[in-house]
Amino acid sequence: MCGIAGILGRAGSLNRLEAMLKAQSHRGPDNQGEFLENGKIALGHNRLSIIDLSEAGNQPFFSPDHRFCIIFNGEIYNYLELRADLAKSHHFRTGSDTEVLLQAYIQWGVGCLDKLNGMFAFAIWDKVEEKLFAARDRFGVKPFYYSDFEDSFFFASEIPALFAGGIEKTPKQSVWASFFSKGVYGMPDETFWDGVYQLPAGSYLEISKAGKKISQWYFFVEAVKNLGEVSHKDEEDYILQLMRDSIKLRFRADVPVGFNLSGGLDSSTLLALVSAENPGSESIKAFTFYTEDERYDELPWVKEMISKTNFPLNTCLLTASEVPELTRRFSALQMEPFGGIPTLAYGKVFERAREKGVLVLLDGQGADESWAGYDYYFQTGNSIVQGVKSSPVKADSLRKDFLGKAEYKSFPEPFSERLLNLQYRDLFYTKIPRALRFNDRMSMAYSTELREPFLDYRLVEYAFSRPENFKRKNGVQKYALRQIANKFLGDSITLAPKRPLQTPQREWLGGELKDWSGDRIQWLAEHSSWFDKKVMLDYWDRYLKGENDNSFYIWQWINSAEILYE
């Protein structure tokens, strides 16, 4: 897990490149490397050493003939298997997955992407053809932002790095208006900033003298439709083997590996499988956050589960007094709205992991989307923001001219079944993209790496392709997953209803943090031409008087104030 940055074109310079790398130095504190070629291209890398800790794994990394240069962020989990195949025609100089990835590209070209099991965003410069090739993993776990500026192509792992390189910081009002009025975070190629884009998940780009071209390489819909005709004699056993292999691959590291734990089914299943693969181990540390509020904390369930293993549990406390400074810091790092105080609490896990020397963490992200774990999948409506009775957004607080800039783009519906279309939306357009962004920035802020075993593409594709009665049976959601988990866990866990990961955000914002919250809301109301100040402040007053069924819109305003008027 690292950071990459580059400038293709005349605007490339060492000073600009170093400014970009400095802005995302938290992504890789172990080494910083640069490569410049005759004013044509500048490539930079922030390294967090996970595999092959020697200097031989530093980047930019070159092919033996120095024709190709790669900068790479992420992990190729199946690099040992690919290395064995490539070793028939290539002598490896390092033990890194970076060298395997570069040689795979040299050997198979674009076709190498289909062979990769991992999370990645990388760029390769071909000196001979003067061509830049860049690609992003299937689900977009690793980020790739870019901008065309001063007749050059800028790219980086984080948006602040682009701004540090000189890209103008101008809000994209259509995305902000859609966010405030509908709660959506933009389409796969959009950001909240004018002229700043992201390479969509499962896509690659090529830039040469012929121009720039972006193409899709991962065809999820085709893959799952083909799997729809496939079945196994014992499907539960087949899925269990996929899960075990996914976890085994994600334990490949030359640094300590731990995991994040909550009280839910997905996290519990992850714990059970890690324990089964590492019986009696005391070296694998578990981490969980809490807020000392029994209405929300999951510590009782977590402690019950962890007591059945030898894994040490590290509890990470988030207090209300920490929220203002954490919000300021992470708003500047994310540079786009993020998911509220629960995201800050999650950051405490990575902070503690780094303190304990655990540089890689696993979590249970992705199971709900592929196994249909959300209640609204089987209810009427098509909501994106869940768990509240009143409207989570307050569109009437926006000025009409600004509200008119919102773009209500529809999501593709490539399947004939409503359930599959909702799952597809959440995987590629709503829940997973934003959760991966939140989590990537929070983990990398503390120079740690997050891995998601349930987002192994083999597991996602197979679970997604199963019929509805495999996902929900007798009113029980994620039915087959619960059956698998029941082989390891008791009924108290496997039959428990889904509980959203929560903190006392609603109470804190209107209680201990009301002065801080009010200051940010007042600031946004007075400094932005987007809002009707009177309506906005009236909503805040009503919230303080008890109309606080949900705090989504309150957090929107606070978070946005920190980003827009930092």
The Cα–Cα gap between 171 and 193 comes to 4
**Coil, strand or helix at 133:** strand
DSSP bridge pairs for 133:
124, 206
6 in Cβ contact with 155 (< 8 Å): yes
Which amino acid, one-letter code, is at 164?
A: A
Please, is 36 exposed, middle or buried when counting C-beta atoms within 10 Å of its C-beta (0-12, 13-18, 19+)?
A: middle
User: Which token pair is 9?
Assistant: 């074109």
The whole-angstrom separation of Cα 299 and Cα 289 is: 8
CA-CA-CA-CA torsion for 173, 411, 145, 323, nearest 10 degrees? 70
* Pair 463, 456: CB distance under 8 Å: no
**What are the phi and psi torsion angles at 265 (to 5°)?**
-65, -45
Annotated catalytic residue 112: no
CB–CB of 288/299 below 8 Å? yes
Answer yes or no: are the C-beta atoms of 501 and 368 closer than 8 Å: no
Distance of CA 106 to the CA centre of its chain: 28
Q: What's the longest Cα–Cα distance across the chain?
A: 72
Per the document, the length of the chain is 566
The pair phi, psi for residue 229, each rounded to 5°, is -95, 0
Helix H or strand E encompassing 13: none
Residue with tokens 């590996």: 257
**Angle subtended at Cα 77 by Cα 275 and Cα 451, rounded to the nearest 5 degrees:** 55
Sort strands 360-362 and 313-317 into parallel, antiparallel or unpaired.
unpaired
Q: Which of 2, 69, 112, 316 is catalytic?
A: 2
Do residues 94 and 135 touch, judged by C-beta distance below 8 A? no
What is the radius of gyration, based on Cα positions, of the chain?
23
Instruction: Classify the phi-psi angles of 150: left when phi > 0, otherwise alpha if psi is within -120 to 50, otherwise beta.
Output: left
Name the nearest CA neighbour of 270 among 452, 499, 438, 427.
452
Contact of 504 with 295, CB cutoff 8 Å: yes
Helix (H) or strand (E) segment spanning residue 447: none
- DSSP strand pairing (197-198 vs 145-149): antiparallel
What is the token pair recorded at 380?
């009427």
Name the token pair of 210: 């012929």
Could you list the active site residues? 2
